[in-house]
Chain A
């Protein structure tokens, strides 16, 4: 598990910088895709809930440092997302398109739900998603569109992002 966590954290480190420095400056993108969320979903779904919550927590923390969001916001949302995604590990066959799209859809909605719950407990600084706004739907669409690509790229390196099942047992 340690190897997977280390490689995932390293990947997320560069992905979050790519997201904050390059993707945010691409004017034709309708919304910024949450690539870090997709990485967390992939790694947790192909491993266990323990791995999922760990990489979700660390990845979210890295994102918190780059964002105007209060520290802990991304850490909490992504730890829960990783945990739940990990719980479904092995339940479905890893399809190249449909499953990544469905996971991105569910992951984005889960993020919205957790954010809404957090606004109840931490009113200051947490900005809830507006389900009626175009920003939310555009983010959902770009996340779903990017998911097959991200899952495909990460799937090329199973030795880095998947714990050997024999070792895991």
Chain B
């Protein structure tokens, strides 16, 4: 009796595991091969919406903590300055902070206005929880006009650079596949010598991008430091968006093309704000 009960419990375990494996296998088959029902999209909408909520909450908490800390610092300084009757210094500092923030926002606004295509300003709210994947979650979704495969760019310092493309869109959030992802391929061209190639990531923002299929005769015309930009050939990415610069050139005797290491223009560890480009509409609103 006891043995039979143990046996049936053991079978129940295996039955449950088999059911889970079957369901997850089917989901995998659908998500890798394409299926009418997009489970991933539905789940992404729910989970990333919650992720955005957690991000807002943590921003609020960290903002509040910073505000409390700054308040206590200001109080100390105020007491010192009251003695010296120099409130002016405090006001001036506040002015400097506001001016700096204003300048930063103006720069971003200026960049946004210089773009020829319609763009959606967005903030990074999360990154992939799996180490071998590299998705970046943004706080704009289908509600804001974001669609799958839209290119994403960013401004850092005075540089504009390609970030990647949108691969998943939720109601209020979207997921971007960055250029350093294993599965990201971008058709590019040397800005100076105009030779073409294909750039692919190595899965880590710290590893260089690899540019392949560059004709061997280009060896004499390219050098380290040369800038490469999107060629615009597959219509996915607009033409002439800088991607990176050459850091190393490799070419084996028996191969007909060169392998070139590219350092991305974008520093992904500092990435905060991006622009999602709607290439179907120009900045003036023409289709």
* Chain A residues engaging chain B, CB cutoff 8 angstroms: 13, 16-25, 27, 31-32, 34, 36, 48-50, 53-54, 56-57, 60-76, 79-80, 83, 86, 115, 118, 122, 124-129, 135-136, 139
B47 touches A32 (CB 8 A): no
Q: Using known A-B contacts A24-B129, A68-B177, A73-B28, determine if residue A61 contacts B43 with beta carbons closer than 8 Å.
A: yes
Q: Using known A-B contacts A21-B125, A65-B44, A68-B177, determine if residue A135 contacts B131 with beta carbons closer than 8 Å.
A: yes
Partner of B203, one of A76, A83, A125, A127: A127
Nearest CB in chain B to that of A142: its residue: B131
Q: Using known A-B contacts A31-B131, A72-B26, A125-B31, determine if residue A17 contacts B17 with beta carbons closer than 8 Å.
A: no
The minimal Cβ–Cβ distance linking A36 to chain B, given in whole angstroms, is 8
The minimal Cβ–Cβ distance linking A98 to chain B, given in whole angstroms, is 25
Q: Using known A-B contacts A25-B127, A71-B27, determine if residue A80 contacts B21 with beta carbons closer than 8 Å.
A: yes
Q: How many A-B residue pairs have CB under 8 A?
A: 164
Q: Which residues of B contact A36 (CB under 8 A)?
A: 129
Q: Which residues of A contact B44 (CB under 8 A)?
A: 65-66
- B182 in the interface, Cβ–Cβ < 8 Å? yes
Complex Cα gap A63–B183 (Å): 20
B40 touches A70 (CB 8 A): yes
Additional A-B contacts beyond A68-B134, A115-B132 (10; CB < 8 A): A20-B127, A21-B125, A53-B17, A60-B24, A66-B44, A66-B128, A68-B177, A125-B32, A125-B183, A127-B183
- B54 in the interface, Cβ–Cβ < 8 Å? yes
The minimal Cβ–Cβ distance linking B131 to chain A, given in whole angstroms, is 5
Query: Which residue among B28, B51, B168 has the maximum number of chain A CB atoms within 10 Å of its CB?
Result: B28
The minimal Cβ–Cβ distance linking B61 to chain A, given in whole angstroms, is 11
The minimal Cβ–Cβ distance linking A50 to chain B, given in whole angstroms, is 5
A70 touches B51 (CB 8 A): no
